Amino acid sequence: MSESTQLAGKHVLLGLSGGIACYKSAELVRLLIKAGATVQVMMSEAAEAFITPVTMQALSNQPVLMSQWDAREPNNMAHINATRRADVMLVAPASADFIAKLVQGRANDLLSLTALARPAQRCALLVAPAMNREMWAHPATQRNIAQLRADGAVVLGPGSGDQACGEIGDGRMLEAAELRDELIAFFQPKLLAGKTLLITAGPTFEPIDPVRGLTNRSSGKMGFAIARAAAEAGAEVTLVAGPVHLATPRGVRRVDVQTALQMYDAVLPRAAAHDVFVATAAVADWRPAQMTEHKIKKDGSSASTAPSFELTENPDILAAVAALADKPFCVGFAAESRDLLKHAREKLLRKGVPLIVGNLGPATFGRDDNALLLVDAQGQRELPHNDKLSLARELIREISARLQEKL
């Protein structure tokens, strides 16, 4: 699924209450539309003090709704019509005052009136808090947030960091890209709700000396995409990552490691407590038997010889997890350079796992797209070439179906 179709067919009612974070909402409109959504903006009177309706109209290409007495609506009921057309109502920013109004059921302006009048069964309410850290931490706000969740709203964030007032702490509205991703995740089927997944991703790095080592070209993108897709599907996800330069997917617990032994030590104690283990990482099969204390240097003479290394085998993480008495459902990855089906099937038997996902490593390392081959005892099935997140979502659907078969 391309970036421009992630929210295709979705109509978002975006509400703005008062707060400096309104400037982020302008970028959010742009990103939602770029992802395929249509966006109707609704602003409180306080929001107009921070950003103009003209700006939001220009970005959304829709008239901005501001008054409950808006005569442009044929029936003069903008608070009814707006949510009947929407798939979701997202309030970003949601001020402390507006959150209090939601909890109390107050409806003295168009935005709060619309939130109260929406058909809750089909138009969910998502709220992105934005306020000073002391306002966020205040017991009244925390009571209101707890009640808002109990009433069925989804609270997104807040983030933490520098605030407009000059203070630092919790209460920042999430960034526009984060809110877009949260909205995309909201619409994904919760196929793994209540399940726990342990995922490995990226390469390992086996040091030869303090500055050099044995590694491979794995970027970790496929494993990180699977972690994101699993979290979108409602799972609790732990991601054990080798040395990669990738942001942690929201809602995912991350454990960073360098070597195969470190990855083994991170995975084995956790594995039995998870429902699924997905071994995406390209783990080095071998490591130097000993690491040289100092950097190995050339002596500058023409007679110098290249150093030699004794290698020792790394533990097989996937096979070790598959051999546990209380093992999770295990999914292995096979990154091959040729004879993909042959090697994937051999790995399936050798590791003793129910599913191997094969791909041609040199054709996908570092790229944002891939093609996968699912191999099990019954046969094989291709997942055609696509972006890695779309393939990850398809793999999550496959894993969910296989878990259901086990019940």
Q: Are both 3-186 and 196-294+304-406 of the same fold?
A: yes
- The pTM score is 0.89
| Domain limits, the chain | 3-186, 196-294+304-406
- Compare 192 and 75 and report the one with higher pLDDT: 192
The four Cα atoms 285, 349, 228, 10 give a dihedral, to 10 degrees, of 150
Q: Cα(38)–Cα(33) distance, rounded to whole angstroms? A: 6
Confidence (pLDDT) at 303:
62
What lies within 8 Å, CB to CB, of 406 at 6+ separation is 329
Phi-psi map region of 125: left, alpha, beta (phi>0 left; psi -120 to 50 alpha): beta
Mean pLDDT, rounded, of the chain: 92
CB 16 within 8 A of CB 43: yes
Half-sphere exposure of 79 (CA within 13 A, CB side): 15
Residue 1 has pLDDT above 60, yes or no: no
- % residues pLDDT > 90 (the chain): 73
Give 50-79 pLDDT, tens digit per residue: 999 999 999 999 999 998 887 787 887 878
Greater confidence (344 vs 272) lies with 272
Query: Please, is 78 exposed, middle or buried when counting C-beta atoms within 10 Å of its C-beta (0-12, 13-18, 19+)?
Result: buried
Which of 289, 285, 284, 296 has the alpha carbon at shortest distance from 210?
A: 296
- Per-residue pLDDT reduced to its tens digit, 112-171: 999 999 999 999 999 999 999 999 999 999 999 999 999 999 999 999 998 888 989 999
pLDDT at residue 337, as a whole number = 76
CA nearest neighbour of 284 among 212, 353, 218, 352:
218
Provide the annotated active-site residues.
165
**pLDDT at 302 exceeding the cut of 70:** no
CATH number of 196-294+304-406: 3.40.50.10300
Q: What percent of the chain has pLDDT over 70?
A: 97
pLDDT band with cut points at 50, 70 and 90 for residue 30: very high
pLDDT digits (tens, 9 = 90+) for 324-345: 999 999 999 987 778 888 888 9
The predicted structure's pLDDT at residue 301: 65
Contact assessment for residue 126 and residue 91, using Cβ atoms and an 8 Å cutoff: yes
Q: Is cis: bond before 129, omega within 30 of 0?
A: no
Give the CATH architecture of domain 3-186: 3-Layer(aba) Sandwich (3.40)
pLDDT of residue 362: 65
